[in-house]
A and B are shown apart, each in its own frame.
Chain A
Amino acid sequence: MEKEFEPKIVAFCCNWCSYLAADSAGMARNQYPSNVHIIRCMCSGMVHPNFVIDALTKGLADGVMVCGCHPGDCHYQDGNKRAESRSEAIFLMLEDFGLEQERFRLEWISASEGQKFAGVSGEMTQTLKELGPNFYKS
């Protein structure tokens, strides 16, 4: 009997907004799927594209999310802008590594948007279930 594929998602969440959102989602009823593993970082701008690419090409995750404050709200002024420009490189790298673009997502989630976090996590889990496992896992 084959078990249903349960994707593993790594979510880099910035300390000031998205992490709090994830936290509140966990506390409240807005349960997000257990597929999502949260890594807390100070700012989305600190997530070097290498972390994302490594997580995927070393087969550690099926998908990666980077979550930061809404534009203008970054605690370090323009960390999230930086994250945004880096995400372009990430999408190109995905292409070059033969990975589907859907395996990466950049989201702005404020501290009060626990529900959004849960929603995005659910969506991504669903997308990855449809895509199947990251081929670097084999």
Chain B
Amino acid sequence: MPVKVVEEWLNSCSGCEISILNLGDTLLDLLPELNFVHIPVLIDHKYYGQTGESDVIEIPEADIGIVSGGVRNEEHKHVLEETRKKTKILIALGSCAAHGGIPAQANMYTNKDIFEKLFRGSPSTDPASDPNHPNVPQWLDSCLALDEVVEVDVTIPGCPPHPDWIAEALTALLEGKTSWSLPERSVCDTCPVIREKKSAAGPVRRCFENLEFNPEEGLDKMRCINEQGFLCLGPVTLAGCAGKEGVPRCIQARTPCRGCFGPIRKGARPMVDMMGAMSSVGLDPKTVVDRRAIMNRYIGGHGNLRPLPARPARK
């Protein structure tokens, strides 16, 4: 008997759904065992009946619910709560669902400031009042991770998560397991670069020029990015972006990690840990430009980012 699956996206970018499709041949192999009963990106099942006559949202009962994207507005919340009710195991897919993701960078600003900018502060926009209509759902106070609203059973982090982990988690659930998680390792643990535990002193470098490396040689011949004096969040980021094998993706592109897989373990504070990691190679965290936003780039949910009160300048 195929397992019934519901898939929903909330404050998302569709990248997580593309990552499901990137399972490619594996997806074709899994398909006979998965019965997608609701997945708006691919199947025309509607919330309120196929001709829209029902008053209550109808998300079908299913064994597995997969939800990507954070919770930004009342409708997201409603759909999420309903999905939770109808599914036995709820998977938070991707870093938006797990930690708020990039859209939770908005948590640094008040909704008022954001709407002011979008609808009255943009050079191409004819200023107007904020959209306000029953069919445009009201924003919540901040952009939330799923587990700030409902209980989540399985988290597959990443922006997007690697298809290997989607396949592994689904296979585990198909085998009757009720939980799955990535091993607690850091991106550095899976990174082949050369480390000497020290770096040139001086302020942390911005990406104004490329890293130093020889393109004909592998990563195992390149010096660690932090040790080259740039900020790389590898030390405080959960490993897994390259799937079961392979090197961390951004490092493969010869660019630093920005933490898209989120913290290594639940409740960790990557910012605090990163400051420690930086000190250990002689980098000064004080010199990171836009530190708060960069260190919380993918994890602005869970209260990590919020508007700061206006304060008088410190002496």
Contacts and interface: CB of A to CB of B under 8 A. Distances in A.
Interface in A69-100: 85-86, 88-89, 92-93, 96-98, 100
Nearest to A58: B303
A96 B314 contact: no
A53 B306 CA distance: 14
Contact of A86 (B276, B286, B291, B311): B276
A40 B213 CA distance: 50
Interface string A32-56: 0000000000000000111001000
B275 A92 contact: yes
A89 B311 contact: no
Contacts of A126: none
Contacts, number: 40
A101 interface: yes
B78 interface: no
A125 interface: no
B205 interface: no
B207 interface: no
Contact of B279 (A48, A85, A97, A101): A85
A100 B309 CA distance: 10
A96 B291 contact: yes
A109 B308 CA distance: 33
B221 interface: no
30 contacts: A48-B272, A49-B272, A49-B275, A50-B268, A50-B269, A50-B272, A53-B269, A85-B279, A86-B276, A88-B275, A88-B285, A89-B272, A89-B275, A89-B276, A89-B285, A92-B275, A92-B286, A92-B291, A93-B271, A93-B272, A93-B275, A96-B271, A96-B291, A96-B292, A96-B295, A97-B308, A98-B306, A98-B308, A100-B311, A135-B309
Given A53-B269, A96-B295, 4 more contacts: A49-B272, A50-B272, A92-B285, A98-B306
Interface of A: 48-50, 53, 57, 85-86, 88-89, 92-93, 96-98, 100-101, 135
